[in-house]
Structure formats: C-alpha cells, structure tokens
Copies of this chain bind each other. A is one copy, B any other.
Amino acid sequence: MVSVMRSLYHPPVDQITVEGILHAFSDPIRIEIFANLAMAECAKNCSTFLTIHKQQLPKSTLSQHFRILREAGLIRSERKGVELVNVTRCAELKQRFGPMVQGIVEAYAAQQKAKKKK
C-alpha cells in the first residue's frame, strides 16, 4: 500500500467562507483548540492538545481536527523539525470577516471562565 503524505493545504484568505468557519467551530474540541491558540502568546504544536476537556484524544482524531481547522482557513500550521506548530490566522480573518471570529472566541472564553468558577 503506497501512501504519500500530502503537504499541508492552507486556503487563500479570499476562499475562506463563513460556512466553513462555522462548520470547523461546530466541534467542542476544535473551538477549544482554536480559542486556546487565539489566546496563546506563541505557536503550539498539535500534541499540546492530546488532553482536552479532561479527556485523552487519540492522535489520529486530533490530527483530523487540526486538518479541519486548517482547511477552513482558521489556523496556519508549519513544520518545525519533527513537530507541527500552529498559529491562528486571526488578523486575516478580521480583515475579511470583521469581528466575527473574535466575538466567538471571546464568548467562548467568557463561558469557560464562568464555568470554572462554579
């Protein structure tokens, strides 16, 4: 069985769609990853998120989630040696979609913060 590891596809900003973004955000794991990246000081590799919401994720599942975020145009992933480091495309997204993405991240972050307090 021959399989080639395709290189990472990032859509150009003008091909990103609202539907694509909303689909990518529809999974609780993906919104958690994205919000975390959006609020992080620096890029993070995929394995950072192997534990999420107190559950352990198989790395194949995590890999799919990153691919979906990437192909929706939400994140940019770059190989750095043996790992993949990820950052959000927030600046481009703001340019194209206004405050939508930031609004989502902020609402999510506020909700999670409130949840913790209880």
Contact = CB atoms under 8 A, between A and B. Distances in A.
B104 A98 contact: no
Contacts of A17: 111
How many subunits of this chain does the assembly comprise?
Answer: 2
Sort chain A's interface into a size bin: 20 to 34
Contacts of A99: 99, 103
A66 interface: no
Interface of A: 17-19, 22-23, 25-26, 28, 31, 97-100, 102-104, 106-108, 110-111
Q: Chain A at the B interface: mostly helix, strand, loop or mixed?
A: helix
Given A18-B31, A22-B31, A99-B103, 14 more contacts: A18-B107, A19-B28, A19-B31, A22-B104, A25-B26, A97-B107, A97-B110, A98-B107, A99-B99, A100-B104, A100-B106, A102-B103, A103-B103, A104-B104
A105 to B, nearest CB: 9
